[in-house]
């Protein structure tokens, strides 16, 4: 088993345990939040925690206020108290919604996370961002609250459909765009991108990288904005298509690498290699809706600081990124090109 701790300023300590079978070390859960697919596959595992279970419908479209309040109602009905432990068992959707429910109930209960998707293991379960989508905007309502413990158990990856591996690769390629060593490792193992053994060996390095960023800036006041690389464009497509988060991150990385090449000083060969990696992970080229219909979604992005400007975290060189503030009209024009460059 490997272990690391995130002890960031003004945050509760978060301990992350990594290894096959590590989630069997969980001694206590007073309430479990999961989704319908995970419950179907791992119902026996969940039953071992011997706690009331809230099963949400699987899918991003259920990461909303209706599910959040149903979860809170179930927590009340279970007589949950402030000192109790809420355990989120599932992918990033369950983790984001479960973390928010745990943070809101009685102004905060103990929160433990067991991520079961590749995406949640390398990214969503680490760092304390919780949220629901609201009124057509991704992650509009949420809080920062670190889980007290995260149990990253790669044995759950074996039941993931290929598409979910692809989604996890979205955030893995994003981390590679920020960290030179992670980039080299992916480029040198291109042929093994979908190989579970290789991915298992990749998860902890990704967690270490993300933890190093969160330790410096848990509340996204500075350094943590790097983790939004490709995400402004990803969020635009996520709510307007049936593509999932990780797939949209791959589209976002490709699109924003193109934008970077036009607006920043970049290393062209490096950006080509990064886009090739993202395309390899993405597989089939998705059909995207017209830029005019989706670009307005970028106006309400949390990362924007000015009204008619869209903020983008773009890759520029190996291990380097830039924050680009694009006038809205220019961003819309760039999105029109995205369909052509994918």
Site size with ligand NAD, rule: CB under 6 A: 32
Nearest CA to 231 out of 286, 174, 279, 283 is that of: 174
- Under DSSP, is residue 48 helix (H, G, I), strand (E, B) or coil? coil
Pick out residues in 74-133 that bind ligand NAD (CB under 6 A).
90-94, 96, 116-117, 119-120, 123-124, 127, 129
> CB-hemisphere CA count at 13 Å for 98?
32
Pick out residues in 5-44 that bind ligand NAD (CB under 6 A).
35, 37-38, 41
b/e for 161-184, b at 16 or more Cβ within 10 A?
A: eeebbbbbbbbbbbbbbbbeebbe
164 binds, among ligand NAD, ligand GLY, none (CB under 5 to 8 A by kind): ligand NAD
When binding is defined by CB under 6 A, the residue of 114, 167, 203, 227 that contacts ligand GLY is: 227
Cβ-based nearer residue to ligand NAD, 137 or 273: 137
The 10 Å Cβ neighbour count of residue 94 is 33
Under the binding rule (CB under 6 A), the answer on residue 270 touching ligand NAD is no
Name every residue whose Cβ is closer than 8 Å to that of residue 176 and which is 6 or more positions away in sequence: 182, 183, 185, 186, 274, 277
Tokens 């759950």: give the residue.
156
Cβ-based nearer residue to ligand GLY, 53 or 127: 127
Q: Which stretch binds ligand GLY (CB under 6 A): 32-40, 41-49, 108-116, 122-130?
A: 122-130
Cβ-based nearer residue to ligand GLY, 215 or 224: 224
Report yes or no: 260 and 266 within 8 Å, Cβ to Cβ: yes
Under the binding rule (CB under 6 A), the answer on residue 256 touching ligand GLY is no
* The two structure tokens encoding residue 3: 């272990």
* The two structure tokens encoding residue 253: 């990385």
Under the binding rule (CB under 6 A), the answer on residue 50 touching ligand NAD is no
Under the binding rule (CB under 6 A), the answer on residue 249 touching ligand GLY is no
CB of 166 to ligand NAD, least distance (A): 10
Under the binding rule (CB under 6 A), the answer on residue 84 touching ligand GLY is no
Residues comprising the chain, all counted: 342
* The two structure tokens encoding residue 116: 């079961």
CB of 145 to ligand NAD, least distance (A): 11
Report yes or no: 194 and 118 within 8 Å, Cβ to Cβ: no
Interface residues toward ligand NAD, by CB under 6 A: 35, 37-38, 41, 58-60, 63, 90-94, 96, 116-117, 119-120, 123-124, 127, 129, 139, 156, 159-160, 164, 167, 171, 244-246
């Amino acid at each position: 088993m490997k272990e690391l701790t995130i002890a960031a300023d003004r945050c509760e300590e978060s301990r992350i345990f990594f290894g096959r079978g590590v989630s069997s070390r969980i001694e206590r859960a007073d309430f479990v939040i999961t989704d319908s697919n995970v419950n179907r596959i791992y119902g026996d595992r969940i039953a071992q925690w011997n706690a009331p279970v809230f099963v949400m419908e699987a899918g991003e479209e259920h990461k909303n206020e209706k599910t959040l309040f149903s979860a809170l109602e179930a927590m009340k009905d279970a007589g949950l108290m402030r000192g109790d432990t809420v355990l989120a068992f599932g992918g990033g959707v369950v983790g984001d919604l479960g973390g928010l429910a745990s943070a809101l109930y009685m102004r905060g209960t103990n929160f433990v996370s067991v991520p079961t998707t590749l995406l949640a293991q390398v990214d969503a379960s680490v760092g304390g961002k919780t949220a629901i989508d609201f009124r057509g905007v991704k992650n509009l309502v949420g809080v920062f609250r670190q889980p007290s413990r995260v149990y990253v158990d790669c044995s759950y990856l074996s039941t993931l459909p290929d598409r979910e591996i692809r989604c996890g690769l979205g955030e893995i390629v994003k981390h590679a765009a920020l960290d030179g060593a992670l980039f080299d490792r992916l480029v040198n193992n291109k042929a093994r991108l979908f190989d579970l053994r290789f991915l298992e060996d990749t998860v902890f390095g990704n967690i270490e990288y993300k933890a190093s960023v969160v330790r410096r800036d848990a509340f996204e006041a500075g350094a943590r904005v790097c983790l939004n690389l490709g995400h402004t464009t990803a969020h635009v497509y996520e709510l307007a298509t049936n593509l999932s988060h990780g797939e949209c991150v791959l589209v976002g990385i490709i699109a924003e690498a193109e934008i970077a090449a036009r607006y920043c000083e970049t290393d062209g060969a490096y950006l080509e290699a990064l886009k090739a990696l993202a395309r390899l992970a993405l597989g089939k080229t998705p059909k995207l809706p017209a830029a005019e219909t989706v670009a307005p979604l970028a106006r309400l992005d949390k990362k924007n600081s000015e009204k008619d400007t869209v903020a983008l975290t773009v890759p520029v060189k190996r291990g380097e990124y830039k924050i680009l503030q694009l006038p809205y009209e220019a961003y819309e024009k760039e999105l029109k090109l995205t369909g052509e460059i994918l």
